[in-house]
Structure 1
Amino acid sequence: MTTPTAQSTRRSPLTRAAGDWLDHLRVERGRSEHTLRAYRRDLDRYLRYLDGVGVRTPEEVREHDVAGFLAHLRTGDEEHQPLAATSAARAVVAVRGLHTFLAVEGQVADDPAREVTPPTPPRRLPKALTVHDVERLLQAAAVGDTPAALRDRALLEVLYGCGARVSEAIALDVDDLELGRADEGGGVVRLFGKGRKERVVPLGRYARDALDSWLVRGRPALARGGTGTPAVFVNARGGRLSRQSAWTAIRAAAERADLRGEISPHTLRHSFATHLLDGGADVRVVQELLGHASVATTQIYTHVSTQHLREVYAQAHPRARRAPGAG
């Protein structure tokens, strides 16, 4: 690929067009210098690529040129390593922004980048704790017999036992619970998900018992300072517990349990789904319990479960791994 001189690059119509767009972003859109520097680097590489394929002006750029640049980013060259999907996507966003600007401003008749979509980054599998680590976390949340300790244990039991989102858990009102009798096992809880879509989820015995202890022995002590809120989970002032306080409770329990890595409310939701599938639950049942609109969203957990099966197989089967020194 031919690399143009600095002087020819500065004076080219494409470079002037890129400069106009960056000025627009700075002055009209108020973009940060950090963002502008990143776009400038991406566009500099783009202009060098266009020069190498013989494109000199914005009017000459065609869709295959933009698509070719994307392929070039993913394969790399003598000067650059191949870019990951995330980095390549950022560069394509810069290129598309440039061409959209030129089309809107009337500098070109058409937008050649309109149909070129950024690469989709690989979807990260959700992180799930082992059953043992979940038990350690829940035990760590139950340190002491204070109202706050009873609340935090009940909160974590609901997040893991029901697969609830943190927003669903803190939005619970007392009327949303049906605990039943202790000798009958768990009860049910009514959760309101995205779009206020309602679902009823079983409460296991552990979650049921933790909620009962909190409602009987912990909540009355804290709710006295409030204004008669119907919330299940209340803070020290008697008001509804916030998302931030829920996160703080989980982080504190994770530290006491000496669990490494980022542990969040969603970690417990992921663990709920993964452990159900590992235990043989049907994916459509898990979909209903999680409140997913589509089973496709739930199926990502089947990949986690499959990975778990591979790990168990590799550790347990006598011929899963090549013996040392085997030919």
Structure 2
Amino acid sequence: MMLKEKLKEKREDLIKLLPLIAFIIPFLILYLKQDVTFSYSFEATWKGRAFYIFFIWFAVLEMIINWEKLQPKAFKKLKSIRTIALILALLLPTIYVIISNFYGLNDAIYVWTRENYMAQKTELSENEKRFFAMMMPLAVEYLVFAAFSFLIFFLQYGVNGFRKSLLAPSFLTIIGIVYMIDNLYPYGQFIPFQIPAATTATIANSFLNLMGYRTYISYETDPTWGWIPILHYYLPKYSIPIPVFAIAWPCSGIESLLVYTIFIIVFLKNFEISLMRKIAYFSIGAVITYLINIFRIITLFIIAINSGYSEEFWRFHDFYAQLISISWIAAYPLLIMMGGDILQKIKSFAEFLKMRLSS
């Protein structure tokens, strides 16, 4: 009887891991399939697939937190509609990767974007049109994977369990939307994101002046770049400033603020603490995330004035800048949980001392 119960428990544990397995297989195919178009895609954070690693991490984290609360609804009856639907849903990510990469779907998305939407973007050069159209399949891929993950978690756990599994799918959704917006409205053309980017750039400029760099910000409107702040630098011994680089919202980390906001709201929603502590945790994390974004612009500036638009500049821009922000966001929930445990131990110790002193 005990053996039967243990086997049943192991079976339920394996069922809980099925959503992860469903995505690990297509991610592995994509990693092995990396071609000229998406070379080094799993190393790149901006317009790359490195965020799939964080998707797995967020799914594992939320699964660990809610392990006992997650009760699979499927596979109780093998021939039930829910079970059959879940099995089909688990296959969808792999099917999509095969169709998109081996049967021309990505090419069709590229061609449609290039011939229909990009043809209207007369302010862009032909190379720019080609680049942003080429990035569209990746944005669609993120959104499709997000939709599949929402569907799988819903079929797996029902409504209640679905609410406890929103971190990872929400993360993919945000990244997909951000990539889509940047493809459709390149550089600084998307004003709702460009306004907070200008604020971040202005603060970064103030920090640079405090650090001893003579810089200032100008704001220009350009048919290609949109409304965009440009960071200027006074070379030593010269009074004429030179423009260093234009700061579009992807460079200033607006996407990391979006990811942080949605991510931490979803995380804290299921965290059983007081509202005031939730507000405090959110505010502290938001300030640190914003400071990291300022650090991103400062670092890009220092690299630019020392190395120009070199390989080092683009390596930080495309790889490390977002990696730092998302790594912080990924680690913050662990810090919150560790902080909660420490506070609980301090509280217990204080109560123990109070009892000893009063006795």
- Of Structure 1 and Structure 2, the greater helix share is in 2
- The answer to whether TM tops 0.5 is no
With structure 1 as the length reference, what TM-score do the two structures score? Answer: 0.23
With structure 2 as the length reference, what TM-score do the two structures score? Answer: 0.22
